[in-house]
Structure 1
């Protein structure tokens, strides 16, 4: 499953946020793998962050991460950079609509 998220950084912390993501803690990466989070990509445009999470079950992973010590430490640390996550109406799951590589010649 693919899930899209949109968060917004606090003003003036954009560069520092990127530095913090050069390498996440190994125990957090291990928790993600254990919970079926296969990939998490973040793009930034100004203060806006666009996340694409590829995982087995996003809701289950987020519930499990609520009680995960590695995630608790990471959220306490990285939370100072994030102003908020945007709320969406409807599903966060993104069905694929189109792919260039699958176009006929």
Structure 2
């Protein structure tokens, strides 16, 4: 499955976030592999970040990472740059965004 997420950086945090997120730690990469996260890409527009996650099961992966030491350390480190995650309605929350349209789904004749 592929999900998109939206987060917002703290004011003035763009450069620090770029440096911090140049690479994730090897133990976090290994944890992602263990929980079925195959890919994670982040795009930026101003202080807004848009994440695309390719994984087996997003909810299961995130639940498995909740108490993972590598993820906890990473969240403590990267969290100093991130103000908030937003859900599909713009409310605070770590939930996938709504997929509105997909060219691949349209071509396959299925809904996104």
Question: Do both proteins adopt the same fold according to a TM-score greater than 0.5, normalized to the shorter chain?
Answer: yes
- Residue 31 to residue 96, structure 1, CA distance change in 2 (3 Å): farther
Higher relative contact order (CA closer than 8 Å, sequence separation 6+): 1
Instruction: Please tell me whether the aligned partners of residues 21 and 78 of structure 2 are also in contact (alpha carbons under 8 angstroms).
Output: no
Q: Give the structure 1 partner of residue 103 of structure 2.
A: 98
Aligned equivalent of 2:50:
50
Which structure 2 residue ranges, 5 or more long, are not aligned?
90-94, 108-112
Using the TM superposition, give the Cα deviation of residue 93 of structure 1 relative to its aligned residue in structure 2, in angstroms: 6.7
CA offsets, 1:3-52, max 9 Å, x none?
A: 11000000101011011111110000000011110000000011000000
**Quick one: structure 1 residues 9 and 46, their matched pair in 2 at CA, closer, same or farther if it must change by over 3 Å?**
same
Q: Which residue of 2 aligns with 1:40?
A: 40
Superposition misfits of 4+ residues, deviation over 6 angstroms: none
How many residues align? The count is 100
